């Protein structure tokens, strides 16, 4: 069954809306851990619109599970990550004008920089993931630059309806299978919520789902514990359904 990593960026978004000291994303993250989250994800953007460097430092000290730090290839952010030494580092594309990450990293285009940065992060003990679209060229390039994982971008799937969503789901399945054949490990995330997560949880050998906004939003109504445990139940249900359909293989 995939592990559930909870992204806390939007707790920090709420705090930064008023430049207050609350709500504290670290306190929220610890509550998510207590509710069963198996890891915490945050994205230190170059513009620091939500998560701040001090948040990452505090998370690294406080978490009892794993810190997955999302970062761009911006040299200052990479240098910070090398000092913090997160257990996992996911390299993502970043545009200042975007509301949230709009698509996967172009590993083919960024090959030169990745060949330098991936080994540096790995040497500091991080499992390195590349956030990519479910594109065979990007999967193959991720293997070539030495990544440990790919995190498949599920945003297009999440935003699609009907037959288009089924096509996107098939692309994700195919990309996951290709990555595993190539020797990569597979995570998935972006845009996942309580309605659409089960089919992604059912993709064979996906190890981790990164989900943030939906859980943070739900926690405003039901609290952190219920928001996290409800998502865990759906992930478990999707994974078990897939196992039953394949005869337990």
Burial annotation 37-47 (CB, 10 A radius, 16+ → b, else e): bbbbbbbbbee
> Which pLDDT does position 227 carry in this prediction?
98
Element (H, E) at 40: strand 39-43
CB 86 within 8 A of CB 116: no
Residues 217 and 115: their CA atoms lie apart, in Å, by: 37
Fold of the 3-245 domain: TIM Barrel (3.20.20)
Is the pLDDT confidence value at 138 over 60?
Answer: yes
Quote the pLDDT of residue 226.
98
- Which SS3 state, helix, strand or coil, does residue 21 take? coil
Catalytic residue status for 50: no
Which among 33, 70, 151, 218 is annotated as catalytic?
Answer: 70
Bridge partner list, 129: 90, 149
Digit-coded pLDDT (tens) for 38-60: 999 999 999 999 999 999 999 99
**What secondary structure letter does DSSP report for 194?**
T
Helix (H, G, I), strand (E, B) or coil at 233: helix
User: Catalytic site residue 10?
Assistant: no
Q: Residue 140 catalytic?
A: no
Among 10, 43, 50, 153, which one carries the catalytic annotation? 43
Given this model, what pLDDT does residue 245 score? 66
Q: What is the pLDDT of residue 247?
A: 57
Find, among 77, 16, 66, the residue nearest to 44 by Cα. Answer: 77
Contacts of 63 (CB under 8 A, 6+ apart): 29, 30, 33, 40
Whether the per-residue pLDDT at 246 is higher than 70: the answer is: no
Average pLDDT over residues 224-247: 87
Structure token pair of residue 101: 């990450």
Does 248 score more than 60 pLDDT? Answer: no
The ranges assigned to domains in the chain are 3-245
Give the active site residue among 168, 190, 208, 218. Answer: 190
pLDDT in tens, 71-130: 999 999 999 999 999 999 999 998 776 666 678 999 999 999 999 999 999 999 999 999
Q: What is the arithmetic mean of pLDDT over 218-222?
A: 98
Cα(125)–Cα(188) distance, integer angstroms: 21
Going by pLDDT thresholds of 50, 70 and 90, the confidence category of residue 240 is: confident
CA distance linking residue 105 with residue 119, whole number of Å: 17
Residue 191 confidence (pLDDT) above 80: yes
Q: Which residue has the higher pLDDT, 96 or 37?
A: 37
215 and 31 Cβ atoms separated by less than 8 Å: no
């Amino acid at each position: 069954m995939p592990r559930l990593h909870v992204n806390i960026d939007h707790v920090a978004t709420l705090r930064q809306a008023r430049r207050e000291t609350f709500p504290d994303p670290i306190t929220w993250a610890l509550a998510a851990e207590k509710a069963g989250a198996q890891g915490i994800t945050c994205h230190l953007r170059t513009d620091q619109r939500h998560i701040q460097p001090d948040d990452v430092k505090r998370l690294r000290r406080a978490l009892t599970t794993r810190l997955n730090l999302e970062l761009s290839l911006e040299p200052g952010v990479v240098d910070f990550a090398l000092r913090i030494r997160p257990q996992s580092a996911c390299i993502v594309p970043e545009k200042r004008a975007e509301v949230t990450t709009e698509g996967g990293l172009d590993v083919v285009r960024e090959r030169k920089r990745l060949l330098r940065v991936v080994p540096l992060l790995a040497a500091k003990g991080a499992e390195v993931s590349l956030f990519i679209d479910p594109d065979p060229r990007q999967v193959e390039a991720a293997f070539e630059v030495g990544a440990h994982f790919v995190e498949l971008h599920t945003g297009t799937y999440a935003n699609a309806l009907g037959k288009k969503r089924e096509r996107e789901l098939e692309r994700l399945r195919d990309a996951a299978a290709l990555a595993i054949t190539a020797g990569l490990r597979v995570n998935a995330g972006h845009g996942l919520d309580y309605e659409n997560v089960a089919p992604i949880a059912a993709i064979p050998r996906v190890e981790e789902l990164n989900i943030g906004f939906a859980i943070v939003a739900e926690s405003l109504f039901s609290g952190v514990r219920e928001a996290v445990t409800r998502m865990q139940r759906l992930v478990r249900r999707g994974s078990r359904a897939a196992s039953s359909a394949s005869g337990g293989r």
